[in-house]
Amino acid sequence: MSLSMRRFSFFITFLLTVPLFAGESDFVIDSIFLEEVTTYSSYRRFQPGTKIDRIPASQMQISQSGNLEQVLSRFSPIYIKGNAGGLSTIRFRGTAPDHTAINFGGININSHTLGHSNMTKIPVFLFDRIDVQYGSSSAINGSGAIGGVIYLEQNHEWTKGVRNYRTYSNGSYGEHFYGEKLYLGNDVWESVTKFYNYENKNRFSFKNPYHLNRFTNPDPIKDRQQGAEVHNRGVLQQFNYLFEPGETLKSSFWYEESWHQVQPNMASNVTYESTQELDNKNFRSWVEYDNSKNVIQYKVGAGYVHDKQIYDNIPDQIVATRRLVTEGLLSYNLTSKQELRVGGKYKYIVPDVHAYSRENIKYEQRADAFVSWFYAPIRNLQTTVNLRQPYVTGFNTPFAPSLMAEYFVNMSNELRTTINAGVSRSYRIPTLNDRFWGTQGNPDLKSEKGINFEGGITLLYQGESGYDRVRINGFQMDVDNWIEWRNFGEWQARNIQKVKSQGVEIQYHKGVEFSEYTIETGLNYTYNPVKRVKDITASVVNRQQLLYAPLHMGNTFLQVKWRDLNCFTDITYTGERYYDNDGNTLPSHFLANVGVNYRIPFNQHGLILMAQIRNLLNEDYQNERYYAMPGRTYNLSVSVDLNFARN
């Protein structure tokens, strides 16, 4: 048996053993943006022209004690609907939370019962890079990738020596964060351990118009939020081994516990006595073997996921699933201009949900077969065709193709223009809750199906002291068989609507670099009309903007770095949002943040001090109707970087 085959056999044995014992920004230490590192996913190569943004390292640093909600709402034109407690959901291009895939290795971490993830439970600190993809990509990412995709990525730097990074932050209203990263390695093997603990009492003051005497005294009273405490903690462990260049074994094991009280609304807060709580425990693992040194390149990976939620400390109210995921990929360069990739994915899902009948579901199997073809027919033109066919036990699933192209040309030595276009089909398999929850689930539901058209242009000017980049992207997306829970005597899930989302996204980024200081600034804006065009329950369709989908949204940011001092500010605008179908809206609002960090270097080590003020203008606003949000908050953090590694 060859050396390569022995390693492959060892890897397969390891994959089969892992589940039995189980019950992409860079590592940021300052505001310097590091070069992109090769990752597991080939989503960039096989989606030329797709809009994929990377959260810059400097913005990851600013948000390192926060969660995915905070970094996306501050630095991307994506709306996050949520409250100040422990619940928030993403709304990509006006779609529902179930329409965004969140990928960790080869796993979509979204719940198979609810269909989505809670943005407040995903800490920025654990990840080295976060990529944000706009638009449909089911041909690459499978079920649920209708509105967009979030990629949570890790670096593999093959550390030689020891490196330890620790950070502690303290904020207003009882907010505390502690995180630590430990890197050990010898150029061949590497261990990376990341731990975090986050607590927030959320005891903030707010103006409450729903007090007991509001009928005789309509003026809001000053109130203090009750019952919105949050406590999240977790650890992410990586073990990586480099057999030789082009042949690696990588693994990630992520365990987290997240607990929060269910925040009472403003009216309930006045008479607060007690509140419900949610306790979640999640274990996610992914192991992969990658061999890219031969003519035929291949990757195989496997993962195990266990999600468990207990409501209000009632053992009988369990909502849990276990799943085993395996995936294999083969890539072959047909010519210098063509690459063919084929692969398959398999999932075995076992639910343990108090509201499911075992007569309806004991387990579910899912499989995907996919093919991708990359072709560069002429100079500066890249195209891909992606095809995906999913299979689900006892369920009809749609075929998902995509066609994408990107053409770039240097107009001059300084100016480069890129034109992109694409069309893709997307789909979402109904969640287990949609199909099997008590008598309300509907096993006859159809998959949601969408079609997405994209087109845009990017202008990049690079001068001697900086750059300017303008990107304009237009899109139209139709989603049919849209699933909605409505009251038909009792709440039920049905394929009710067809929804059309369209719009334009405009980005402008500028960077200037001089001898001792650099300036980074940017603007993101989205105009997104999204409306229902069909409703099987109504003879006349209500064509108002979908609920909690702002028509206008944008943000701007500015960072000025002088030597080791970095000053930053950002402002987010969220347009008005409908919160019911009777035309009632939440008003638009601005949120401004400002801060400064300073790095004190000592040989290879460093001490980083940072201070921030969030909601600088003390804006009184709501992201969800009747739920208070904190006003002006202060945050101080201290980070220590001890670097004994040799690069």
Please give the model's pTM, rounded to 2 decimal places: 0.92
Q: Domain limits of the chain?
A: 3-294+303-643
Asked if pLDDT for residue 142 goes beyond 90, the answer is yes
Q: What is the pLDDT of residue 366?
A: 97
Average per-residue pLDDT in the chain? 90
Confidence of residue 41 (pLDDT cuts 50, 70, 90): low
Confidence of residue 11 (pLDDT cuts 50, 70, 90): very low
Confidence of residue 167 (pLDDT cuts 50, 70, 90): very high
Q: What is the pLDDT of residue 38?
A: 35
Give the pair of three-digit tokens for residue 618: 């003390």
Q: What is the 3-state secondary structure (H, E, C) of 403-472?
A: EEEEEEEECCCCEEEEEEEEEEEEEECCCHHHHHCCCCCCCCCCCEEEEEEEEEEEEEEECCCEEEEEEE
Residue 439: Cβ-neighbour burial (10 angstroms; 0-12, 13-18, 19+): exposed
Asked if pLDDT for residue 4 goes beyond 80, the answer is no
Asked if pLDDT for residue 489 goes beyond 90, the answer is no
Confidence of residue 382 (pLDDT cuts 50, 70, 90): very high
First-residue to last-residue Cα distance in the chain:
35
Q: What is the pLDDT of residue 434?
A: 95
Q: What is the pLDDT of residue 111?
A: 95
Asked if pLDDT for residue 343 goes beyond 90, the answer is yes
Residue 18 has what DSSP assignment? Answer: G
Give me the architecture of the 3-294+303-643 domain, per CATH: Beta Barrel (2.40)
CB atoms within 10 A of CB 72: 24
Q: What is the pLDDT of residue 416?
A: 94
User: What pLDDT, in 10s, does the model give residues 451-472?
Assistant: 999 999 999 999 888 999 999 9
Q: What is the pLDDT of residue 159?
A: 82
Question: How far apart, in Å, are the Cα atoms of 409 and each of 28, 466, 473?
Answer: 33, 20, 18
Q: Phi and psi at residue 206, in whole multiples of 5°?
A: -155, 165
Q: What is the pLDDT of residue 217?
A: 79
Give the pair of three-digit tokens for residue 519: 């300036």
Q: What is the pLDDT of residue 27?
A: 33
Range in 6-15, 53-62, 248-257, 341-350 the model is least confident about: 6-15
Confidence of residue 537 (pLDDT cuts 50, 70, 90): confident
Asked if pLDDT for residue 323 goes beyond 60, the answer is yes
Q: What is the pLDDT of residue 464?
A: 86
Confidence of residue 120 (pLDDT cuts 50, 70, 90): very high
